[in-house]
Amino acid sequence: MTHPDPAPSPKIVVTPDSFKSTASAEDAAEWLAEGVRSVIRDAQLVLTPMADGGEGTSSLFEGERICLPTTTAAGRLTEAEYTFHAPTATAFIDVAAASGLPAVEDDPVPLTGDTYGTGVLIADAQTRGATRIVLGLGGTATVDGGTGILVALGVNPLDAAGYQLPPGGGALEKLASFDTAKVNVPAGAVEWVLLTDTTAPATGPQGAARVFGPQKGAGPEDVETLERGLARLCEVAEVDPQTPGLGAAGGVGIGLTWLSTMLHGDASHVHIVPGARAVADSNGLAEHVDGAALVITGEGRYDGQTGTGKVASVVGELAREAGAVFAIAAGSFEEASPEGTLAVTLPDVEDTREQLVRAGAEIAVAYLNTSTVQG
């Protein structure tokens, strides 16, 4: 009598984004996997932390972690880290590391917040030998069009009377010109790779001020002020405000495109690319997903912006291409997930680890039930 071969252990890929300031992508992957393993004990688990250009992106790249003093979006002293990969002369920097929302969440600075602190990191990276800066454009507290970075690199925005503008996007509508007498040419002339988590343009109904301003504490009048400021910046910088992705990180790409064009004569040294795709290419996610039975991702909130290039949308595409079951664990679902997705809301408990372990177990149970029904 012959016995049927036992069912092979399912290959399960766990590839979440970070959960804002509560769990890194690495921790989230570990804890979701722990929950899966409690239900499917023989699973072949592959953990591939993900990011889309927001908080935690730079830590997923290979290289030395550099920590140095800088300033928050509100101009207060802080410390921030980035990754420097010497063999390729590449620095991986999250704008959120210095200029992120968590540091000013209790006292938002939508009109006066700036990216000067990120510029300090960029200048430091160049002194270490970086000729290529990969900048993660997500999770910022600012809508300054990247002018804070410009100031840190020696470029001063001026009003019509020749006075330097105060920090932040609230003053940009008065912009008349830039003083470039003290520009840090080596830092400004690097190859820029801007990782976006959105396709939003700089201005308009889907632009940086109107879509992301309220998330950064901007009221209705503030939003209109920031909208006028970004429009004026694009005009002075001679940058097309409707360029997809230019609205990421409060329009950081505007200032950097102007700077690079001023130094090189064109914008060929600025590359605006989808962050989640770039990270997936770097960590070999497509190869990991190949042959998987189940692919699990996670993020803090699944909403209307998820489909514009965030981790869940990219992971979902790869899962579907591989013929795998796709699951999402999220703190909340403000939009319906794609048909056929296993969507699990994190349980309402205090401990983040427990939330994710329990979500992983719930996904595993749902997957087994789905497999039984389909099989």
For residue range 80-101, list pLDDT tens digits in order: 999 999 999 999 999 999 999 9
| Distance from C-alpha of 116 to C-alpha of 151, rounded to nearest angstrom | 7
Cα(172)–Cα(31) distance, integer angstroms:
44
CA distance 249 to 136: 9
Mean pLDDT of the chain: 93
Sheet holding 294-302, edge to edge: 44-47, 11-14, 294-302, 325-333, 342-345
- The pLDDT score that the predictor gives to residue 130 is 98
Query: Which of the four pLDDT bands, split at 50, 70 and 90, describes residue 191?
Result: very high
The CATH T-level fold of domain 58-276 is Glycerate kinase, domain 2 (3.90.1510)
Q: Is the pTM of this model over 0.85?
A: yes
Q: Say how far apart CA 69 and CA 254 lie, in whole Å.
A: 26
In this prediction, residue 372 carries a pLDDT of 60
pLDDT at 124 over 80: yes
pLDDT more than 70, % of the chain: 95
The β-bridge partners of 298 are 329
Q: Which residues pair with 90 in a beta bridge?
A: 85, 132
Share of the chain above pLDDT 90, in %: 84
For range 300-322, the mean pLDDT: 83
Q: How many angstroms separate the CA atoms of 169 and 167, rounded?
A: 7
The CATH classification number of 11-48+284-374 equals: 3.40.50.10350
Locate the domains of the chain by residue range.
Answer: 11-48+284-374, 58-276
pLDDT band at 40 (very low <50, low <70, confident <90, very high): very high
* pLDDT at residue 231 is higher than 50: yes
Structure tokens at 12: 């399960």
At 335, is the pLDDT very low, low, confident or very high (cuts 50, 70, 90)?
A: confident
Alpha carbon distance 1, 302 (integer Å): 52
Give residue 308's pLDDT: 61
> pLDDT band at 78, cuts 50/70/90?
very high
- pLDDT for res 2: 40
241 vs 72: CA distance, rounded Å = 26
- Are the CB atoms for 312 and 299 separated by under 8 Å? yes
Report d(CA 254, CA 159) in Å as an integer.
Answer: 18
